[in-house]
Structure 1
Amino acid sequence: MVHNKDDRRAGFPRPVVSHLTLNLIVAAYIFAALNLGFWSRMVAAFHGNPVQIGLFGIAIFGLTLFTLELLGPARLQRPAAAALILIASGASYYERTFGVLIDREMIRNVFETTVTESRHLITFGAVAQIGLSGILPAALVFWPRVRRVRRWHHLWRWPMGMGLSLAILLGGLFSEYKAFSAVLRERKEVMAAYQPGATIAALVKFGKEQFAGGDPVARPIALDAAPGPHLAAATKPVLLVFFAGETARAQNFGLNGYERDTTPGLAARDVINFPDVSSCGTSTAVSLPCMFSPLAQADYSRNEFLSRENLLDVLVRAGFDVKWVDNNTGDQRIAARTGWDRVDPALTPDVCVGECTDEAFLPIIERTAATMTRNTVLVLHMIGNHGPAYYLRYPQDRAVFAPDCRTAEFAECEVGAIVNAYDNAMLETDHVLSATIDMLSASDRVLPAMFFLSDHGESLGENGLYLHAAPMFMAPEVQTKVPMVMWMANGFRTEMGLDGGCLRDVAKAPASQDNVFHTVLGLLDVSTAARDAALDLTDTCRKGIAS
């Protein structure tokens, strides 16, 4: 390493390094400082075996070096190195802080999030830590001068650099191939925590999916959809209020036996609770479209969802007015053909200070019940328990559990305070659902019913994990078990021929979001061959219509 004379005279010495030396320094920094999650998972996967840990570490260091060589030939080296440091730093921060791993669906969440949602994750702590571990080191990459070979020599220098780093990777892997292949196959969380590789892979998968899928035209389904005999004979318009919940986990839902009574309002009302319901995914971008789709979880993909109509289209075909109102990140293309609106803060300014709580839905429900003249399904996409700013989801004067964490910086709160804030947000959902039931019960214009189902759950510090969107192969049950509740007015139950006692018995069995498409069609007595009776939770509980 040498210094330029002009630099020394100016008092700003800049070291001169070779292309390979800079890559080795950057690779060492990324691998040692920005991969703590990878290291902890690797040590656990190899049960502390120092030889295997060392050899596998050498192999993955070779992978890091190969990535730098591949993406940064010649004068692209420093921009590529800086970008990889920034990617690894950001991913490392969120992995260390929330236990979040970056995969394709997490990348989708990043691209589809709102400014309001993202600002709760871009906190002072995040900026400070990413600044120190990412921005500053990325800037330092441009400090040394790089001694480069002549232009034509790059024709051999670039492939040679990739070849040498690839040799390190393969040499390390094949030194203990049997053990390493088993870990790579069975312990996917190890490489899912490796940065920047996991994030780059996720970006490539997301981009490939977007490019391959484009914007497909949804093919029609359930062309035979029509009112069944009960719906056709109804004496009043039918109103289903469908609450698409957000981040409510079954374990903290009072009706499911949680030690805290987070659902006192629902417990006092005649609701049917489903205590064992599994989600299709661990993020809104997956679970919400999946639950409205005729596809089962095993068959679901984003492109498959976009390539066919969904529940809302079938309901319109059966003669329903369908309205989607959003207090979250949008409709996720579910209402692409039926349209959707956001909550209007002007209707309820007292609950929309900064952000609207879900109480903003109540005047919409009241107005719909008072003015509708046709069968209607009102879908309300809640903000619910969306984190990390749980404290914004409920008014402070209804904060029953204290002290509650009143910041999005979890590092500033005890786990108990985070749970208190989460449970207070669950109480707010209970308040909104209970108020909705009371409002619908008081209406003599419609035959009302309510359906509530959360999209996915949430981690609250268990095993060091927070928030949601863990890859499904490693997602804990707190992220995949969700509350689901059904309520029907007596008039709705009678005219639609549904047996409440039978439904309560059905509710004791396990269910999933695979049931939603078919159950809503069954609940509303929509006749179509697209409804699978085996997945319709109401199918065995409908009485024949009186002649």
Structure 2
Amino acid sequence: MLKSKVKFSLYVLGISLLNLLLFHFPFFRFVLNHIDYSTFSGSLLVFSLFVMTVVANFFAFYLLLFRSGRAGRILLSIVFLINATALYFINTYGVIIDESMIGNILNTNYAESSSFFSFTLLGYLIVLGFIPGYFILTVQVVRESVKTCLITLTGSLLFILVFVFANSSNWLWIDKNSKTLGGLVMPWSYTVNTALFYMHQHQSNEKEIRLPAATLSDNDKAVVVLVIGESARRENFSLYGYGRNTNPLLSKIDNVHTFQANSCATYTTAGVKCILEHEDTDDLYEILPNYLYRNKVDVAWRTANWGEPPVHIGDHQTQEMLTKACKGENCGYDEVLVSGLKERILSSRNNKIMIVLHTSTSHGPTYNKKYPKRFEAFSPVCNSVELSKCSRQELINAYDNTIFYTDYILSQVIGELKELKGYRSSMIYVSDHGESLGEKNLYMHGLPVRLAPKQQYEIPFIVWSSGGPTIKNDQLVSQNYVFHSVLRFLGVKSPVYNEKMSIFK
């Protein structure tokens, strides 16, 4: 601990500079990679961003610490720990901490979050979190008067305004890149975007907007199994031309059709919502399972995942619930969702049935733990949660094994449906989003769609059917096609049905 006391404003300035030096390398790397800093305007922008970042944090930290005493110091120490964690994920996985990423984080359960632990993360927390936190907590300061506080804060704001207007020629560039810049500056990236996330979530969840009533066009027996994939990118499916045979079973099954599809978003909550709604919208309309259930269709939801919109049906089972009734060594994996599927369908007293299987098969970073050992068709595999430390081939091998396992699960679903007598049946498989595997030094998913590489939004859309309407020859579809295709296959007449967005004639 420093023995001499430090002037309060210098103490806060020191913390602001420390915050800049420790946590803003990705921020300025992005700036330097996207402007011509050899020009006067470009160099002024870099210098101004440097100054404004320090002064803006100085202003916020000064307000926080001026009258809060030790509680404020503790809170600021926690901020440095969160900064360290955020920086680890930015550096390791190439993420941007924007509003969509906040939604992704807040909808992550313990099992998923614990899979990210590594000694490198612990190192970030110690070096960038706990050590600076010790400095924040132990330095003695000389308090300043309220008058000095007001003068300091006013001067800070004026200082920021001067630099803002000095960069008027760069306003368009800043506005164009505002989401990326805002997702890399600490601690504003997660504080502001967390507030925005909850504000928008509150607005969207105020009331689910009901769709108009539907009727059944016939009483024929029909069942659709919708399989929602997780982090499955289209280019690693051999059904779409991938060089490796990752779909050995589906490729041998008749009536399997593939469509080119892009996801609405690159994170689970938005991707699943888009799959289940009749159109891509920020509003919370009644989703497909709720709509069908309300209109007398038997609906079951089986999930090994999370991040789903509110599901209001009578039969909702988690992986844990299904595992209790499952027997065999593979019950701890996603194929537990298929356990007893045929029996569930045959036990229904309803002629119209929809079953949703929400998988987690290809979610990283622990791809090697998402499938039973016997499905390790490609090796060696990446065994680290720090994906950049694995060789590219090890990472792709582990990921391809999850697609190989997905192929098996889908073939099992089709096999169960084939054994049903007297039903027209269909399986629709579509992923919530794609996945980056080191391309452009990016990993996993979660970037805004406008910034994301194609691997994060180009997804598989695979359909098998028997005894139902003919499948169209459309090539490019969206996730919203699921809603209208299920209505058409089950014979559900609805005012919101859009013939153009159905894969069935």
Provide the TM-score with structure 2 as the length reference.
0.92
Q: What are the superposed Cα offsets for residues 219-277 of structure 1, whole Å, 9 maximum, x if unpaired?
A: 43131x1112xx43x2xx22211101111011212111112221121111124433420
SS of aligned partner of 1:206: helix
Contact 1:281–1:480 under 8 Å retained in 2: yes
Matched, 1:162 2:153: yes
Matched, 1:372 2:348: yes
- Following superposition, the deviation at residue 371 of structure 1 comes to 2.5
Match of 1:291 among 275, 281, 284: 275
- Match of 1:274? 258
SS of aligned partner of 2:354: strand
- Match of 1:6? none
* Pair 1:262–1:184, CA change in 2 (3 A): same
Amino acid at match of 1:65: F
Contact 1:17–1:147 under 8 Å retained in 2: yes
Match of 2:108 among 113, 123, 147: 113
- Match of 1:5? none
The worse-fitting range, judged by mean Cα deviation, of 69-78 and 169-178 is: 69-78
Q: How does 1:103-502 map to 2 (within 5 A)?
A: 103-149=98-144, 153-154=145-146, 156-179=147-170, 181-188=171-178, 189-212=180-203, 215-223=205-213, 225-228=214-217, 231-232=218-219, 234=220, 237-296=221-280, 300-301=281-282, 304-305=283-284, 308-329=285-306, 331-333=308-310, 335-343=311-319, 344-348=322-326, 350-351=328-329, 356-374=332-350, 375-489=352-466, 492-493=467-468, 498-500=469-471
SS of aligned partner of 2:130: helix
- Match of 2:18? 29
* Pair 1:157–1:85, CA change in 2 (3 A): farther
Amino acid at match of 2:73: R
- Match of 2:74? 79
Contact 1:17–1:146 under 8 Å retained in 2: yes
Q: What are the superposed Cα offsets for residues 154-199 of structure 1, whole Å, 9 maximum, x if unpaired?
A: 2x333333223223322323223212x1221122323321111111
SS of aligned partner of 2:459: strand
SS of aligned partner of 2:257: strand
SS of aligned partner of 1:499: coil
* Pair 1:222–1:313, CA change in 2 (3 A): farther
Match of 1:91 among 86, 89, 94: 86
- Following superposition, the deviation at residue 86 of structure 1 comes to 2.2
SS of aligned partner of 1:488: strand
The CA distance in 2 between the partners of 1:373 and 1:537, in whole Å, is: 28
Stretches of structure 2 that go unaligned for 5 or more consecutive residues are: none
The CA distance in 2 between the partners of 1:486 and 1:44, in whole Å, is: 43
- Following superposition, the deviation at residue 284 of structure 1 comes to 0.8
Amino acid at match of 2:121: A
- Following superposition, the deviation at residue 51 of structure 1 comes to 4.1
The CA distance in 1 between the partners of 2:202 and 2:478, in whole Å, is: 31
- Following superposition, the deviation at residue 119 of structure 1 comes to 0.6
The CA distance in 1 between the partners of 2:480 and 2:413, in whole Å, is: 25
Amino acid at match of 1:368: R
* Pair 1:331–1:197, CA change in 2 (3 A): closer
- Following superposition, the deviation at residue 77 of structure 1 comes to 4.6
Contact 1:226–1:317 under 8 Å retained in 2: no
Matched, 1:522 2:488: yes
Amino acid at match of 2:143: R
The CA distance in 2 between the partners of 1:166 and 1:415, in whole Å, is: 48
SS of aligned partner of 1:264: coil
Match of 1:68 among 52, 55, 61: 61
The CA distance in 1 between the partners of 2:257 and 2:157, in whole Å, is: 56
- Following superposition, the deviation at residue 465 of structure 1 comes to 1.0
Amino acid at match of 2:443: Y
* Coordinate RMSD, CA, aligned: 2.1
The CA distance in 2 between the partners of 1:311 and 1:113, in whole Å, is: 23
The worse-fitting range, judged by mean Cα deviation, of 55-64 and 430-439 is: 55-64
- Following superposition, the deviation at residue 418 of structure 1 comes to 1.1
SS of aligned partner of 1:72: helix
Q: What are the superposed Cα offsets for residues 314-362 of structure 1, whole Å, 9 maximum, x if unpaired?
A: 21244310000111126331x1344511122233354457xx2211122
- Following superposition, the deviation at residue 129 of structure 1 comes to 1.7
- Following superposition, the deviation at residue 69 of structure 1 comes to 2.3
The CA distance in 2 between the partners of 1:264 and 1:128, in whole Å, is: 43
Amino acid at match of 1:519: S
* Pair 1:211–1:330, CA change in 2 (3 A): closer
SS of aligned partner of 1:195: coil
Amino acid at match of 1:111: L
Amino acid at match of 1:521: L
Contact 1:14–1:143 under 8 Å retained in 2: no
Amino acid at match of 1:71: L
- Following superposition, the deviation at residue 23 of structure 1 comes to 1.4
The CA distance in 1 between the partners of 2:327 and 2:90, in whole Å, is: 37
The worse-fitting range, judged by mean Cα deviation, of 413-422 and 188-197 is: 188-197
- Following superposition, the deviation at residue 83 of structure 1 comes to 3.2
Q: Percent identity?
A: 24
- Following superposition, the deviation at residue 64 of structure 1 comes to 2.3
* Pair 1:329–1:352, CA change in 2 (3 A): farther
The CA distance in 2 between the partners of 1:122 and 1:26, in whole Å, is: 28
The CA distance in 2 between the partners of 1:345 and 1:15, in whole Å, is: 62
Amino acid at match of 2:52: A
- Following superposition, the deviation at residue 13 of structure 1 comes to 5.0
Amino acid at match of 1:325: R
The CA distance in 1 between the partners of 2:259 and 2:304, in whole Å, is: 26
Contact 2:257–2:463 under 8 Å retained in 1: yes
The CA distance in 2 between the partners of 1:447 and 1:210, in whole Å, is: 39
The CA distance in 1 between the partners of 2:495 and 2:245, in whole Å, is: 41
SS of aligned partner of 1:405: coil
Contact 1:284–1:455 under 8 Å retained in 2: yes
- Alignment coverage as a number of residue pairs: 495
The CA distance in 2 between the partners of 1:339 and 1:195, in whole Å, is: 43
The CA distance in 2 between the partners of 1:58 and 1:338, in whole Å, is: 57
Contact 2:229–2:431 under 8 Å retained in 1: yes
- Following superposition, the deviation at residue 534 of structure 1 comes to 2.4
Contact 2:117–2:385 under 8 Å retained in 1: no
Q: What are the superposed Cα offsets for residues 440-480 of structure 1, whole Å, 9 maximum, x if unpaired?
A: 21222533211100000111111111111112331221111
- Following superposition, the deviation at residue 30 of structure 1 comes to 1.3
The CA distance in 2 between the partners of 1:321 and 1:364, in whole Å, is: 16
